[in-house]
Structure 1
């Protein structure tokens, strides 16, 4: 059985009743589980950079990355709970996170602060795009509740992208 099938397997104990058709549950829960894996990956990368940032803007970057990591982590429980609310199951291990995530890791010994912020900016931008695709899927299946949550998370990802963009701009003049 494939990971995808295991994650959406419905049984008497865990199959929360829903009026969504089985294909909607399968498609939406699959997209949300991939999003959840991305959120965990982005959280760990953001904390990694938070712990290892250095240089003249250390305090500002350290605090910015800590704030962003907290916001990213705060989305994980609502994503997983939404999967459960629509009748599917969610990720159970770090191995499942690693198998489902679409964002790349950064295991480098040293990354400049500017490169850290630029990489996180691109990751957040990619994440916003993945959320938009998931939103479109929710629209196809008339899942307004999940779509509504995604709208908030898209806005948060765009705000993180904006802050990271502005923090990496060079001033002229």
Structure 2
């Protein structure tokens, strides 16, 4: 007869220290640079995960006369946001840092606030996402400054593209909720 064992609880696995070598990717960056870049990028990564989930939440719960257009736009935006996660985490590892470890770690580092409301008006969804993307752009700019200070050109280059993508999302969200102008201008 086979005896089944119960999987470890989260508390039991969290209490048990990890065995093995310390994760230190070799880099020519100084220790302070690695620490500062990893902290900045982990903050960005936490916001990216928070923005991804909020964008998906609003995508899933969209309603109203512009349902299809908004639903599709938010699906495209969430895909673009999620595509940032792995390159961000990999940059943290490449410069010698460690990245986010859990949902709790994300929650402790995110600046983009969750929205757990049962119902949000479509225009409010888009306006909130517009502001959240502006927040992400500001955090990306701050991380870019940290990378420039440490001469981490590779991470800075990636950030520049993500700023452009984030500004495009902000623009689309802004235009989607802007009142129409009957004058044709």
Hey, what does 1:112 align to over in structure 2? 121
Q: Could you tell me which runs of 5 or more consecutive residues in structure 2 were left unpaired when the two chains were aligned.
A: 1-19
Indicate yes or no: 2:162 matched with 1:153.
Answer: yes
Please say if 1:172 is aligned against 2:181.
Answer: yes
Equivalent residue of 2:172, what SS? helix
Deviations 1:101-134 (A, max 9, x none): 0111101111000000000000000100110011
Partner of 2:104: 95
Indicate whether 1:132 and 2:148 are aligned.
no
Aligned match for 2:52, one of 43, 58, 78: 43
Using the alignment, how far apart are the partners of 2:58 and 2:76 within structure 1?
A: 12
**TM-score normalised over the length of structure 1:** 0.92
- Give runs of ≥4 in structure 1 deviating > 6 Å: none
* Aligned partner (choices 36, 60, 67) of residue 76 of structure 2: 67
Deviation at 1:172, TM superposition (A): 2.2
Q: CA deviation at 1:13?
A: 4.2
Q: What's the counterpart of residue 55 of structure 1?
A: 64
Q: Deviations over 1:109-167 (max 9, x none)?
A: 11000000000000000100110011011111111111000000000000000000010
Q: Distance in 1 between matches of 2:140 and 2:158?
A: 10
2:19 equivalent to 1:19: no
1:143 and 2:127 aligned: no
Q: Tell me, in whole angstroms, the C-alpha distance in 2 between the residues paired with 1:105 and 1:44.
A: 9
RMSD: 1.0
Cα distance in 1, alignment partners of residues 95 and 142 from structure 2: 18
**Is the radius of gyration larger for structure 1 or structure 2?**
2
Unaligned ranges ≥5, structure 1: 1-10
Compare the two structures and name the one with the higher helix fraction: 1
- Separation of aligned partners in 2, 1:93 and 1:133: 24
